[in-house]
Structures are given as structure tokens and as C-alpha cells.
Amino acid sequence: MAEKVGFVTMGEKKGVAKDIPELGIGMLGYAFMGKAHTNAYKKYPYIFWPPVAFPRLVAICGRNEEAVKEAKVRYGYEKYYTDWKTMLQDSEVQIFDNSGPNNLHAEPCIEALKLGKHVFCEKPLAATSEEAWKMWEAAKASPAKAMVCFNYRFVPALRLAKELIEEGKLGEIYHFRAQYLQEWIMDPNFPAVWRLQKGVSGSGALGDLGSHIVDLARFLVGEITSVSALTRTFIKERPSLEDPQKKVPVDVDDAFVAIVEFEGGAIGTLEASRFCGGRKNYQVIEINGSKGSLRFNLERLNELEVYLTDEEPKVLRGFHDVLVTESYHPFYDKWWPHGHIIGWEHTFVHAIAHFLDAVVNNRSIAPYGATFEDGYRCALVCDTILKSAETGKKELIQY
Amino acid sequence: MAEKVGFVTMGEKKGVAKDIPELGIGMLGYAFMGKAHTNAYKKYPYIFWPPVAFPRLVAICGRNEEAVKEAKVRYGYEKYYTDWKTMLQDSEVQIFDNSGPNNLHAEPCIEALKLGKHVFCEKPLAATSEEAWKMWEAAKASPAKAMVCFNYRFVPALRLAKELIEEGKLGEIYHFRAQYLQEWIMDPNFPAVWRLQKGVSGSGALGDLGSHIVDLARFLVGEITSVSALTRTFIKERPSLEDPQKKVPVDVDDAFVAIVEFEGGAIGTLEASRFCGGRKNYQVIEINGSKGSLRFNLERLNELEVYLTDEEPKVLRGFHDVLVTESYHPFYDKWWPHGHIIGWEHTFVHAIAHFLDAVVNNRSIAPYGATFEDGYRCALVCDTILKSAETGKKELIQY
Amino acid sequence: MAEKVGFVTMGEKKGVAKDIPELGIGMLGYAFMGKAHTNAYKKYPYIFWPPVAFPRLVAICGRNEEAVKEAKVRYGYEKYYTDWKTMLQDSEVQIFDNSGPNNLHAEPCIEALKLGKHVFCEKPLAATSEEAWKMWEAAKASPAKAMVCFNYRFVPALRLAKELIEEGKLGEIYHFRAQYLQEWIMDPNFPAVWRLQKGVSGSGALGDLGSHIVDLARFLVGEITSVSALTRTFIKERPSLEDPQKKVPVDVDDAFVAIVEFEGGAIGTLEASRFCGGRKNYQVIEINGSKGSLRFNLERLNELEVYLTDEEPKVLRGFHDVLVTESYHPFYDKWWPHGHIIGWEHTFVHAIAHFLDAVVNNRSIAPYGATFEDGYRCALVCDTILKSAETGKKELIQY
Amino acid sequence: MAEKVGFVTMGEKKGVAKDIPELGIGMLGYAFMGKAHTNAYKKYPYIFWPPVAFPRLVAICGRNEEAVKEAKVRYGYEKYYTDWKTMLQDSEVQIFDNSGPNNLHAEPCIEALKLGKHVFCEKPLAATSEEAWKMWEAAKASPAKAMVCFNYRFVPALRLAKELIEEGKLGEIYHFRAQYLQEWIMDPNFPAVWRLQKGVSGSGALGDLGSHIVDLARFLVGEITSVSALTRTFIKERPSLEDPQKKVPVDVDDAFVAIVEFEGGAIGTLEASRFCGGRKNYQVIEINGSKGSLRFNLERLNELEVYLTDEEPKVLRGFHDVLVTESYHPFYDKWWPHGHIIGWEHTFVHAIAHFLDAVVNNRSIAPYGATFEDGYRCALVCDTILKSAETGKKELIQY
């Protein structure tokens, strides 16, 4: 019989892709971000084929044993831990992925870096800039790679935006404006979850949503030098998560607005809120330069609107609605034929691909990935926003 | 022969609409705004049929005699003047329309009000808040009607927005954000026209564009209590209009950004620029309240996007794209069947209709039209924006 | 006193624009189209300044004397008539504007042409292709100008589309698709108005809406050679206009769909309906050629979407959303600064401008204006659509 | 130490989710569709947690041994085959997934069904309606489940559309219009791939794209009773895939247009083309009914536009732009927080979830999944479209 049947063994796997190593992942967290990161590790090797490494899902860690046990089975991790310190001792864990809450970022990441483990940490880097600074110090002192998961840098449309700006297609940048608007806590009876507790999250809309647009502002336009800001807490107390009959005060911002100056001369507006009815995950960015403009909306993340000031023929000047799904667009050669759009989750696949490439090929996280320095600088801008909101003055960023 | 032929005389005109008076218009200015206002007077009577009055185009005034003479013929005015003071003495002029440059608003309007003539003045009310205050004083002291032409209050979609907010459809207002972006002076060789000279215009993008969104902020959400702002002049000198070889300094803002607080507790962002490539006349307003949101874009002025937080069935919640062209929408019963959209110029027809109704039927300009008090308050906010940009502090509005 | 006052007389009018003649207009109809056409005559001279002629509103004609008398005063006509034949005898009437119902197009237009009067006739040219053919014959036999008011040829965006196609910017045309969707008779209790009576209108959605897109298909892509079609009357009887208690049968189409072949090899779809909820005046056209595509939506008539297949850089390929309001766009130098959009009514101003230019300067109506030949050919396509709907076969157009 | 470490074995997996069976997958094809289907099997269990079964990737089959071997490693299949007949004999294969080319659908699927294996077959069901009929016969004769992967039925927005129509929210349906436009073979030098060869694909744009919209027409509105159609092959010969110097004739349609009648009284237009520049994967559907309308665009697949005719308050009537990403929307409780959009690939996850549920819980594939009867009926409509294009007549569908 001419037709052949093959039972390829794991040994043969090496045969097909012989120099491809495995990298053991130790995951902290199994909720929203644990799901998003794990999904990325699982998809990466067959989407970015051939991969630079096969992520091996070694262990997942969380405090609730029943839950973490189920997460282990659900996602196919080999083991589970209920203590991150123990997990970090596991020699099979080579990469520490921190998808835990903000106040659980600094200590585990610093410890992992000390142990020489590569760290992939969910944003914001820390609950405060002081913590973030310590993490950056730890990253500098470690031979391991450290990256903050500012995943929106890895939206194809935003990477394209970055490339356009770097190539000078927009000319000198005059304006940056970004809004990150959501609506999920408008109901006054929505409980005081951890994201609404300063002790756990550090801040409210600012750290959760604002940090994304601060990072994108820095990524796309450059350093922010000053901020003037206002914050608001529209609903001042909410039902306790433990006892819905009890009200607890909300000590984080429901929203902030800020105006900023950039090193390069541009001015900008930044705004984040969780009180914008109808705005589900509405992160909108517009940049205007001397040669053109661009606009991005996360709810339509496969598109980028671009205007070129001197385009010919001039009768056809207008914003191009670019469907960023061509094989020659960032990351898209890995996916589907054009027009077969990707989703929000895939930004994590791109981020993981970038991180693993840095780890395996000893490449720099910067400038496309966010380093811990970026994480710190972002945190500093956020802290200065809070400060300005208190002082009522334009505050300079003291990097 | 059963068919009849009629030669209706002017007397018969009274027969058809016997109580309809004539009102003599004296127009100052024949450029952009002179054209827009005149067009409105000409269209008003047959579009808002039957009209409260027939505007009679008595006289037009401008300094360049050749030009004003041509404008007289072009638009069908009966006379022309080259001196506004003389025109104001013309007893046939009952309404003084000031479509001149900003620094020619205060004195003629005050004089007209003293003479008991009704005044319809293009925005901004004056080049400075001091002048605007004097104009408000003059208006208070006069029995005549005085209105500032903040014409965007008369966009059907924005009047609908106003009504929705007044009815509580959006609940408590949390956020206001407005951008008014244009691109027309991005070319560094664009000359230093009057709008770029502080002595004539008072300010740059702020007074020209910003005043519109400050007025709309007040119209829709209420008094602004504080501002923090930045301004920028991107192109610091430009060719002189008289001698293109000569460069003259630009002493007005090319752009401003501001964050504001409202009396009612909302926060907002305001921004205007003439350096946003691709943005032709892009005035975009979004308002978020506890029960809903709305969004408006002047380049698509026939539409209003509205989201209602508690709408049923909830599976269909989403922004409604309302084409505000139904007979039951503001002003639209005067126009065409639905979907047959109107243009920018028609906002002036609505404004004139409101003004003439106030004049003839002794109705109040407020709350739908902008009074001279509104003009003053708007100017004060603008001045305080400039002040904050200088001091780097949050400045309270000192009404 | 240096300042001068001028009382320019009508004689001076000639002084300012001495070679500008007057042209006397005789208008048939004072309803929807009478209003739209009259508005255009009134706006034309000061918008298209200097005009090729001053339209003089000599007379308006209608059967209801009270109504026509009021229309005369409302619009400023000098006289009124209740019989079109008498009006056509008026020597001051040089241009006959037929804004009457479809079954009142043929006879008056033919009579006017015989009398040597220029004719501007609302579309569709006639209720049937037979009538249209006679009108075309009359036009050929007359020295006067004859134009059908297919006003959408004069939307700036569609004129731009025409120019792009003529210049080969879209390459060889493969596809044309047009839908003209409205919703105004969805209510089964909407009465049987004249547009729903075959005897007056000739057909339903087909003649009213379909004729527009058939004309645009011919205008933009070329001759249609075959059609296959279906028609539907969803509501088969309606309340009589005279006696709402009485039901009368609806003998025209509520909707039609058709597929067509073009002489040049393209294929297309055509569709019109008055039963599309939410579609107010939704005329959407898309054309795809070997080098590019374009899309137009009448509800956003200031915009044209254009895609160029080989545009560089290719990473930015995407539909341009062109705001067709630049001074270098068709007709727009007459209007306002860019971004200050125009409305539906202004298409008639452009059409009138084209017509008056043809009359005064003896220029050809074609190719930008629709001739009576165009009106006939359009009617023939429409008739063949009805025929195909009956025979269930692909029918060739027998020009 | 209170913290615990867990090494959960496969036995424990059963412990966590003890009644969850495994189902062995045998996959035919490793190209575009093989990738899309495999990805779905891999994602399904942890996204649709807890799953009804764990898909076990038993084997993948393809003719090119090197390629299928690599695919095996890439996707994690346990074995590979180069002969589908051999694979079907593998007792560990319980589900046969046919992601091969159209002319390889009938025989393998029929064989699999005879062997009692469940079959999940990519669309179109077959290259001709005759083949499709035999497959339907085989499905009826088998106890196994058989489903055609018309994956767009599983777009959340289109499932929502289906539910709205079933609930009567749109009332009686008057109109269906669908276009499926792409651009990928516009270049005349694009080679004659299998999709352009009638012997392999059966037809061109019709079978590839048209079958999707025919299926959706039937899914959403009901049976099609007649068609009138045109087809076009714009580029009549292309470079051979094997020898680019050689030209081979293209014997399939590049595009088709059709008008259709539905059993329920609606009329519709259908159109598919691969010659529409700028249209990447532009499947647009609009439906109008007596109570409302909806519109869907596959390039923005997370959105559904809906208009309700009698909505209150009427001043806010307008198309809702529904972001179909709420936990209460179809399928979305499995994914991410609202506004975190999904991509094209996820429609396959939903389809697989539906199929596995039918297999494990012995549920019906219909009405939400496409049965082999649906596949046959769709093929018959497509064949009749080709027939009508030849005869030039309206052809009835002879189910």
C-alpha cells in the first residue's frame, strides 16, 4: 500500500522542528487575565509556526485550591500551587507569568527575577510607582527578561501606527488624544470588588484603563513631561462584596481627565472612565501630525483610520479605513486570509510571541514590548495625575 | 374661461398673510458670515411659512465700497453703507446684524442697542470678556432684543440633545467632552489673516472654535466652574497678508486643550485646534450620564447617536444612529421629507427664526438662543482658559 | 464725510454685472418639487455669483387657486395661473419648469417646447416610455433646451464619481449595485396617494426611486442592455384619500429588484422599495472596477468612499472617506469652507446652474445633465423591468 | 505548611469533571480550513468550560506526507495518515472532520457515515447538488450525526438575528439582500488554483461565497422558491499553477448576481464576487420586515445594526449599533467581558460546540446547525442559479 500511516512520537516532534526548545510556564492567577494569558501560550506555537519555543504549561497558582485545581485541568497545566513562593522554587518553571491583582505584582516578580526566572507581568506594573521602581531595579539586576503586558502595543493596527510615526509618515506630532471609556460599574449597586479598593488596585479607572493609554501615549508619541488632571468618584460607597447589606466607601477614582505635554512639543488629552453608558471597551486614540492623522478604536481593533495631508490626487483625500488584516501587516501573516478578523485575545498571542522571542533569542523587549522601565514610567505618570488632581496645578513628571 | 390668472400685488401679500410685518435688516459684513446670515434672512420667510415677519434687506455695510456695492446687488439689499454708524442712523434699519470681525462687535452693537435696534451678533460676542460684559450691560439697558449667533444650538440634533437632557433622559450628567478640530492653517505658508491676529480676533482657535464648544457645554450641561488649560502656537510666524515676503509673528493660539468642572458635578474636556489634518469642521461632542449617552459630529450634523442604559430588550442595547430629519424633530417640519438632509447653512435659518420670533412676539431669547449674558459668560470661560494656560493652575471662573 | 452711502438702483445692478440677463420662470406645481425647484432658482444667483442669468420668478401655476395664490406670495412669484396652457402663453415666461405629477409631464412640456420655451422637467420624464419618447421627439424638434431634473447627478460626490470613472481611476467596471430604500408607506393605513396610483404615477417605487438609480447607472457605467426583475406589492389595498373608510386597490409596485447587464460588460443589481424600516432616503451605490471601488450613500451625501487597488503605500490601502466639500471639488467653490456641509436641496441649485448655463451660453445639457433622450432611455429600462417581472425572463432593452 | 502543591493526574481530570468523555477526531485537510477547524477543537474545551467532551486530536490526514507530518506536530495530533480511507478505519477516530476540497467531500463523508462515525463537513457540502443529495441520503441512513460547517450561523450577531426574527421582532419579512464580496483574484496573473477549477470546486464565487449567503438566506428567512441569475467570468484564462508560463481557461464564475423569491413572500437579492477592490471579506446582509430591519457586516462581525419601526420614544428611532458581546448574547458568556471582541475563527468554536453537544447529548443539529439536508438544499439553489444564468429565465427550485 502506497499510503502511509505515521505515529510520530515526541521525539519526532524534535525531528520536525529540532532546535525548538520548551519553556516551562508558571502562571499566577486563573481569572480574567489568567485565562487570557494561558490562551495565548496555548495558541502561540501552532499559530506562530514554527515557534521559537513550545510553552510548557508547568504550573498554575492561586489561593483558592478548588478553583486553581479546576483551572489546572481546564487549561491543561501539569501541576497547581496555592503559594506563589513555592511555585517559584519549581525548577521546571522558567517563565513566571504574573496575572494576579495589582498588589500582588511587585513581590512575586522581584522574587522571580532574583531567581533568574523570566517574568511576564500583567499591567499596570504595580499599584504604585514606588513599587514599580523597585521592580525595574530588580529587572536591571537580573539576567532574565522582564516584560509588562501592555498588550495593546500588539494590536496590529497600533503596531502599524507606531511604524508609520517612526517612518515620519505623520510628520511632527501636534496632538495626542485618548479616551478609554467603559460602563461596567455605573450601577450604584455594583459591589466594591478589588478593582475599587485602593489597597489592592492602587487606583481606579486610572490604573486599570488610564495606564493603557499612558503607555500608548509614550509608545507612540514619546515622554510625557507634565500633567494637569481632575479625578471623580461618582458613586462614593458601594455594597460590600462579602456582605451586600453593608456599604463600604469607594476610595479610588471612577474617572479622570488630564491634559498633558510631551517632550517633542505635542499636547494631549487623556481620559478614562467606567461611567460612560454604551461604551463597552471604547479605547479611542487620535494623533495629528504635520503630515497626517490617525485614529484607532479598540472596539473595532482590526481597523486603523489614516489621513495623509499631501496625498494625491487631492480630490481623494480622506481618512483611509484600513482593515489591518493583510499578510504584509504586523503579525497578520500568522493568521487568516485578509478580512477574516482577529479578536481582542490575539493581542496577547502577539505579546507572548514577542516575549518568547526575546527570551529564546536574547533580543531586547524594547522598543516594541514594554519593559519594566516603561512600567515604572507609566506608573509615575499615573501617580502624577493623582497628585495634580489634588494640588490643582500642572505637575511635572519627575522621572 | 374657468381658469383664472392672478396678478397679486404687494397689497395682496398682506391679504394672504395680513398680520405679517416687515422688519428692516441692516447688515454689517459681507464675507463668510455676511453670506451665511443673509442667506438665512432670504430663506427664512418661505421655509418657515408663514413667517412671523418678512425680513427686508434694507442695507449692507462694509469698508470696501466696491465690494459692498457688489454684495448689495448680489444679495438684493436696497442700499449699502461704508460706515456702520451711518447705517445705524437709517430709520428703516430695525435689526442690526453684526457679521463683522470680532473687534468690531462691541462698539456697533452697543450703539445699536442704545438706538433701540434689535441686535443679532455673530459669535464670539466680543474679542475679550471685558467688551462682552459691556455689551451685556447695553443689552440689559435696552428694550431691544439681543442675541449671539451661536448657531450650533440650532442644529436639530443638538436641540434634540438639549431636550433629551432637560427631560432627564440621560440622567445625572457625568462627562462632557468636545473637540472642535480643523486643519486650514497647517501650511506654514498660510498667511497671517485677521483670525491669527490677537488685536482683531482676541484669540485663535479658542475664540473661533473653542467658543462654540464652551457655549454648547453651558447650553447642554450647565455652568463651568473651573478650567485647567494648555495652549500652543505651532507655527510661530507667518507671511504677512500685505507682503508675503515679510514674516509676522502669530500671537494667538493654534490650539488649546482644557479640563473643566461643571456646577452639577460633571467633568469635561474641551479642545480646539486648526492643526488636525483631515478634520475639516470636526466638532464632536459626547455626553455621558447615569441613564445614557449621546454623541454628535458636525460633519454629519443630521445625525445624533444616543444610547439608553436601561433600554429594553437589553439584547438590542446599542447606540441609536438617529437621522434627525423627521417632521417631529426640532425644526424639521419646515424642511423636506425625512432623509432629505439639510446642511450647515440651515442652522442660521433656525437661529434667525428664533430671533425674529423673539422680536415680533416679544419672547425670550433664552434658553434656546444665546443671550448677551451667555456671550459674556462664554467669553469669561475663554479668558480663564488663557489665564490657566499662563498660570499652570486650575482657575475658577469668576462670573 | 469720507464714508459713502449708496442707493443702488436696478440700473446699477446692470452696472455691477452688466451682461447678466434675466430669465423668466414659469413654474408648474407648488408642492414638494415646486418648493425644491423654486428654492433653487432663488438661491442660484447669489450662490453662483456672478450668475449667468437672474432667474425672474414670473409665474406659478396650480389647479387649486387658494393654494397657488399663497404659493405665489410665499415664494415671491409675480403672478399665478390655474391653467398651465395660459401660463405657457405668457411671453414673460421663457423657462417652463414642470414640477407637476408624472402624468402632467408630457403634454405641457411638449407644448412648451413647441412654443420655443426652455423646459426643465422633474423626473421621471413621463409616466410611460411612450410618453417619454414623444417628449424626446419634441425636444429634438425644438430650438429650446430641455433637461430632466435627475438631480442626483449634481451631488458633488456623484459628479466626482463620474469624473473618476471617466478618467479611468476605477479601470474597467465590473459591478454596479444600487439600492434606493425608503419606509414611508409601510403603515397599511397610509392612504392611496397619487404616487400609489398607476394612472397618475405610472409605477410605484420603480418610477419614483428606481428611475433615479437607473439614471445613475447609465450616467456612471453606461447603457443597460438587459434586465431580469421581480416586483412586489406588499399592501394590496389602502384607504382612499377622499374617503378613508373606503379601501382602494394599490396597482403599483411597492418594491422591485432587478439584475442587469451593461454594454461594457459589467453586471449589476438594482433595487428600490418603500418598505425598508429605518431607511429614510437611503440611496446607496457601489461600483467596483479593475482599479478601484466607490460607494455613496445619499443620507450622507457629502461623502464619497473610494478605494484604489494599487495605492501606495500598500499598508495604508483602505476606503478613503472623502468629505467632498473642498473648493476643488465639483460645485463646492460656490459654497462654504470645507466641512461646512450642504444638504439635499442644494443638488437642485447645481442642476439649475447647469441648465441656465446651457440656456444662456447655448451649451449642451449632456453629458452631465440628463437630456430628454436620457429621460426616455431611463423610462424604457423601467418599462422593461416591469415587462421582465411579468414574463419571468431576461428582457433586452430595445432602445 | 498550609499551602498545598498538587500534581493532578489524568485520573484527577476525571475527578474534576468526571462524566466528561473524550471524542477522537480524525481530520482531513491541513490547509486553511484544517487550521480553522483544528484551532476550534483545541480551544473548545477550555473556553466552553466545562465541555460536553474533550476532543482528542487522534489523527490528521493529507496526501503530502511531509506536510501532513508537520501539521501533526504543529497542531498536536497523535498520528497522521496520507489516505483518508485508512484513517476512517482507525477505531479511535469517532468524529470525521472533512476540511478537504469540495470534490473530496462526498465520498469520504458517505464512507464515514456508513462506518457510524459522526461527520463534521466544511461547506459547501459538495461540488454539485447530486453529490450533496447522496450525502444527505447517507446521513439519513446513519445513526451518526452529520453537520455542515456553515460557520456564519454561529456568529453571535447572526444567531441574535435568527432569534429576533423567530420571536417576530421584525414582523413579516419583505426583503433579504446579501452580498459577499472579496477581491483576492482581481490580478489577472493570479494563478488557476483549485478554487478556480470547476472539476475540483464545482463553481467559483457561487459555491465558495454564494453558498454561505444562500444558507443564511434559508436560515434567517426560509426556503427560496425561485431564482433569476447572471454569472460572469471576468478573467477568462489564468497562469497554470504548475507552469506559470502556461495559461489555462477559468471555467468557474468570478461573480454572480441573483434575485430570489421566498416561500413566505419576501424577495431578495444575492450577489457574490471576487472582483470587488477593497472588499476583503465583506459579507453584508440586510433584512427588512414589517416591524423592523437589521444589517450585518462580516468585517465587523461583533456588531449588529437593528431598527425597530415602532420604537418609543419615536424621536430616538434609529438603527441601534449593537455590540454583540454581552454575557446575555449568544455564546458570549463563554468569552471575555463585553467590548473585548472576538474574531472570525471563533465562529468555528461555536459550531464545534454545537456539534459536540449534538453528538454527546444526542441533540438535533437543526435548526441552529446546518444539516446535510440544509447542505443539499443550498447546493440545489446554487445549481439552479447556474441554470437560470444559462436559460435567462426565472427558475423554480425543485426541492
At B201 the pLDDT is: 85
Read off the pLDDT of residues C56-93 as tens digits, 9 standing for 90 and up.
999 999 999 999 999 999 999 999 999 999 999 999 99
pLDDT of D76 over the 50 cut: yes
Q: How many CB pairs under 8 A join A and D?
A: 174
The chains in contact with chain B, meaning 3 or more Cβ pairs closer than 8 Å, are: A, C, D
What pLDDT, on a 0 to 100 scale, did the predictor assign at position A1?
29
Residue with C-alpha cell 473618476?
Answer: C164
pLDDT for position D15: 52
Is B168's Cβ below 8 Å from some Cβ in D? no
H helix or E strand, kind and range, residue D235: none
B294 interfaces chain D, CB cutoff of 8 Å? no
Residue D136: is its pLDDT beyond 90? yes
D292 has a chain C CB within 8 A of its CB: yes
C243 Cβ contact list (under 8 Å, min separation 6): none
Q: Give the per-residue pLDDT at C201.
A: 85
User: Which residues, in sequence order, are CB contacts of C85 under 8 Å at separation 6+?
Assistant: B3, C108, C111
Partners of B281 on chain C (C-beta within 8 Å) are 337-341
Number of CB atoms found within 10 A of residue C366's CB: 12
Which of B77, B273, B284, B344 should be substituted to probe chain C, the one whose Cβ sees the most C Cβ atoms within 10 Å? B344
Q: Do A336 and D36 touch (CB under 8 A)?
A: yes
Would you list the DSSP string of B311-374? -SSGGG-SEEEEE--STTSTTGGGS-STT----TTHHHHHHHHHHHHHHHHT---TTTSBPHHH
Nearest to D278 among C186, C228, C293 (CB): C293
pLDDT reading at C132 higher than 50: yes
Which pLDDT does position A199 carry in this prediction? Answer: 87
Give pLDDT, residue C19. 76
Taking one residue from B and the other from D, the number of pairs with CB-CB distance under 8 angstroms is 54
CB contact under 8 A, A177 and B394: no
Delineate the domains of chain D, giving CATH numbers in brackets: 10-152 (3.40.50.720), 155-337+372-396 (3.30.360.10)
Share of chain A above pLDDT 90, in %: 92
Residue D199 has pLDDT above 60, yes or no: yes
- Compute the distance between CA of residue C236 and CA of residue B88 in angstroms, rounded to an integer: 64
The pTM of the full predicted model, rounded to 2 decimals, is 0.96
CB within 8 Å: D318 and B318: no
Of the candidates D160, D315, D316, the beta carbon closest to that of B315 is on: D160
* Interface with D, mutate which of C228, C254, C307 (most D CBs under 10 A): C228
Is some CB atom of chain B closer than 8 A to the CB atom of A394? yes
Residue A381: predicted pLDDT:
98
The yes-or-no verdict on residue B243 having pLDDT over 70 is yes
pLDDT at D7: 45
Q: Does A253 touch chain B (CB under 8 A)?
A: no
Indicate yes or no: CB of B259 within 8 angstroms of CB of A307.
Answer: no
Please report, for residues A101, A386, B287, the alpha-carbon distance to residue A194 in angstroms, rounded to integers and kept in the order given: 8, 19, 28
pLDDT of residue C16: 57
Give yes or no for D179 touching C (CB within 8 A).
Answer: yes
The chains found to touch C (3+ Cβ pairs under 8 angstroms) are A, B, D
Instruction: Measure in Å the smallest separation between the Cα of C82 and chain B Cα atoms.
Output: 5
Q: Are C205 and C199 in contact (CB under 8 A)?
A: no
Q: What does pLDDT average to over chain C?
A: 95
Task: Output the DSSP codes for D274-301.
Answer: S--TT-SSEEEEEEEESSEEEEEEGGGT
pLDDT confidence of residue C2: 33
Average pLDDT over residues C117-121: 98
Q: What does the pLDDT read at residue A200?
A: 85
How far is D170 from D268, CA to CA, in rounded Å? 16
Number of helical (H) and strand (E) elements in chain B, helices listed first? 12, 18
- Better-scored residue on pLDDT, D235 or A2: D235
Q: Which residue of C has its CA nearest to A318?
A: C322
Cα–Cα distance, D196 to D187 (Å, whole number): 13
Q: Is the pLDDT of residue D12 over 70?
A: no
CB contact D311 to C (< 8 Å): no
User: Residue D297 has what pLDDT?
Assistant: 98
Task: Return d(Cα C373, Cα C399) in angstroms, integer.
Answer: 10
Q: Do A321 and C326 touch (CB under 8 A)?
A: no
**What is the predicted pLDDT for the residue at D202?**
85
Task: Judge: B343–C342 Cβ closer than 8 Å, yes or no.
Answer: yes
Nearest to C5 among B79, B298, B341 (CB): B79
What H or E segment, with its residue span, contains residue D252? none
Which of A1, A5, A83 to mutate to probe the D interface, most D CBs <10 Å? Answer: A5
Out of D74, D280, D344, whose CB is closest to A46? D74
D200: pLDDT confidence band, cut at 50, 70 and 90?
confident
Whether D6 shows a pLDDT value over 90: the answer reads: no
Q: Does B322 touch chain A (CB under 8 A)?
A: no
- pLDDT, tens digit, for every residue of A197-242? 898 888 999 999 999 999 999 999 999 999 999 999 999 999 998 9
Q: Which residue has the cell 435696552?
A: B142
Minimal-distance CA residue of chain B relative to A232: B267
Chain C residues with CB-CB distance to A308 below 8 A:
316
Confidence of residue B52 (pLDDT cuts 50, 70, 90): very high
Distance CA(D122)–CA(D117), nearest Å, equals 16
Mean pLDDT, residues B285-308: 98
B175 interface with A at CB cutoff 8 Å: yes
Burial status of residue B360 (CB atoms within 10 A of its CB: 0-12, 13-18, 19 or more): middle
Mean pLDDT over residues A263-276, rounded? 98
B317 to chain D, any CB pair closer than 8 A? The answer is: yes
In this prediction, residue C272 carries a pLDDT of 98
Residue pairs spanning A and B at CB distance below 8 A = 130
In tens, the pLDDT along D253-270 reads 999 999 999 999 999 999
D290 CA to chain C: closest CA distance, Å?
7
Instruction: Name the residue of chain D whose CA is nearest to A181's CA.
Output: D339
> B183-200 pLDDT, tens per residue?
999 999 999 998 898 988
Residue A39 vs residues A101, B34, C358, D34: alpha-carbon distances, Å: 18, 63, 69, 20
What does the pLDDT average to over B379-397?
98
Inter-chain contact C175–D255, Cβ cutoff 8 Å?
yes
Assess C167–A contact: CB distance below 8 Å, yes or no: no
Q: What's residue D160's pLDDT?
A: 98
Per-residue pLDDT tens for B194-217? 889 898 888 999 999 999 999 999
- Judged by CB atoms closer than 8 Å, whether chains meet at B228 and A228 is answered as yes
B-chain residues near D323 (CB < 8 A)? 318
In this prediction, residue B18 has a pLDDT band, given cuts at 50, 70 and 90, of low
pLDDT per position as a tens digit, A325-344: 999 999 999 999 999 999 99
Whether A395 and chain B come into contact, CB under 8 Å, resolves to: no
Q: Are B250 and B321 in contact (CB under 8 A)?
A: no
Alpha carbon D327 to its chain's center: 24
DSSP conformational letter for D135: H
Instruction: Name which of A221, A345, A347, A213 is nearest A284 in CA terms.
Output: A213
Structure confidence at residue A201 (pLDDT): 85
Query: C253 pLDDT exceeds 70?
Result: yes
Instruction: Express each pLDDT in C332-380 by its tens digit.
Output: 999 999 999 999 999 999 999 999 999 999 999 999 999 999 999 999 9
- The better pLDDT of the pair A165, C3 is held by A165
Model confidence at B105, pLDDT cuts 50, 70, 90, reads very high
Report whether pLDDT(A127) > 80: yes
Per residue in A32-65, pLDDT tens? Answer: 999 999 999 999 999 999 999 999 999 999 999 9
What does the pLDDT read at residue B314?
A: 96
Q: What is the 3-class SS of chain A, one letter each residue?
A: CCCCEECCCHHHHHHHCCCCCEEEEEEECCCHHHHHHHHHHHHHHHHCCCCCCEEEEEEEECCCHHHHHHHHHHHCCCEEECCHHHHHHCCCCCEEEECCCHHHCHHHHHHHHHCCCEEEEECCCCCCHHHHHHHHHHHHHCCCCEEEECHHHHCHHHHHHHHHHHCCCCCCEEEEEEEEECCCCCCCCCCCCHHHCHHHHCCCHHHHHHHHHHHHHHHHCCCEEEEEEEEECCCCEEECCCCCCCEEECCCCCEEEEEEEECCCCEEEEEEECCCCCCCCEEEEEEEECCEEEEEEHHHCCEEEEEECCCCCHHHCCEEEEECCCCCCCCHHHCCCCCCCCCCCHHHHHHHHHHHHHHHHCCCCCCCCECHHHHHHHHHHHHHHHHHHHHCECEECCC
Average pLDDT value for chain D: 95
Say whether residue D314 is in contact with chain B using an 8 A CB cutoff: yes
For chain D, say whether B293 makes contact (Cβ under 8 Å): no
Contacts of D322 in chain B (CB under 8 A): 315-318
List of chain D residues whose C-beta atoms are within 8 Å of the C-beta of residue B308: 316
- Please report the ipTM that was assigned to this predicted complex: 0.95
